[in-house]
Amino acid sequence: MRYGLGLVTAIGPWQLVGKDRRPVWFADEGLATVTRQDGRRRVVYRGNGSIALDLRHHGRWVHIGDPDSREGVIVDCYQGKPGATTKMYRARGADGTRRDYVHPLAAGEQMNNSFVAITPDGQWMVSGEWDKMERFLIFPTPMLNSAASPTALGLAATLELDHSVLNVQGGVFVDPVTLLCSTDDPGTVLWPVAHQLLQVDLERPLDGNQVSGRVSCLGALPRESCCSGTFEVEGIDYDSASGDLRVVVIPPPPCKWATVTVYRYRRKT
């Protein structure tokens, strides 16, 4: 018997082409496609077990979110314990160089650090918080934008949304003005379906200034398992070379204690 919404074979223009399972400890937060120096690509996953050992030992940064990558640089987003007044982005270059960028919270900003989505030109990244939001945060991309000072990563601008969103877990750009977001919104107050795949159409490519975006719901993300109960949607990734859109979904317990499901979609032609 299968429980949940079932296998969603199409979400808007995206058609299901495959799925696989990954160990939960290292894949229950997000994923990103990384292009290596030799041009080859690999998909990296992040989970509770992915928190770097030095950070885990220090105890300040206790959660890792959905990462993103451009030009061989991968950026991870970290958050602290409740009441934290900063969040942190760790960037690793293609040559293995690693830098940490601490961001002091701006006025009204929450301490949650759910995801990063880097623009196709690599210069800017969008970051999101948990709960109900009417805007996303815009930063210069660490290692790729010279405006990103390693001493303190400041907020560049905001992406103002024309519709509220709830519990956005992941985001990824599919082109300079189209951002896709995966949500763990369990209800239908904001949209006709729960656990939405949202599309944000920007008025122009990001340039470090405030920009507005029109939000639309493409449909419900898949939730199917032999275990019954509550599903949790996590991160999302787009590989521009293959056209693969991937999203991570955690099944209910006890299935969630072993693996997560990674669904793979491609745009209909």
- Position 46: which residue type? R
Architecture per CATH, 3-267: 6 Propeller (2.120)
Beta strand 157-166 with 211-220 is parallel
C-alpha–C-alpha distance, residues 64 and 25, integer Å: 12
Mean pLDDT for the stretch of residues 160-186: 98
Mean pLDDT for the stretch of residues 208-224: 97
What distances in angstroms separate CA 158 from CA 80, 139, 205, one per listed residue? Answer: 22, 9, 13
C-alpha–C-alpha distance, residues 142 and 72, integer Å: 12
Mean pLDDT for the stretch of residues 184-209: 98
pLDDT, tens only, 34-67: 998 788 899 999 999 999 999 988 889 999 999 9
Answer yes or no: is pLDDT of 6 > 70. Answer: no
Higher pLDDT, 149 or 261: 261
pLDDT of residue 47: 97
pLDDT of residue 217: 98
DSSP string across the chain:
--EEEE---EETTEEEEEEEEEEGGGTSSEEEEEE-TTS-EEEEEE-GGGS-HHHHHH-SEEEE-B-EEETTEEEEEEEESTT-SEEEEEEE-TTS-EEEEEEEPPTT--S---EEEE-TTSSEEEEE-SSEEEEEEEEEPTTT-TT--TT-----EEEEEEEEEE-EEEEEEEETTEEEEEE---SSSSSSSSSEEEEEEESS---SS-EEEEEEEEEEPPEEESS-S--EEEEEEEETTTTEEEEEEEPPTTGGGTEEEEEEEEE--
The residue extents of the domains of the chain are 3-267
Answer yes or no: is pLDDT of 183 > 90. Answer: yes
Other CB atoms closer than 10 Å to residue 190's CB: what's the count? 17
pTM of the complete model: 0.96
Answer yes or no: is pLDDT of 1 > 60. Answer: no
Closest among 169, 69, 73 to 113, alpha carbons compared? 169
pLDDT, tens only, 123-134: 999 999 999 999
C-alpha–C-alpha distance, residues 34 and 68, integer Å: 8
Q: Which residue in this structure is represented by tokens 């996590």?
A: 234
Retrieve residue 104's tokens. Answer: 């002091």
CB 139 within 8 A of CB 124: yes
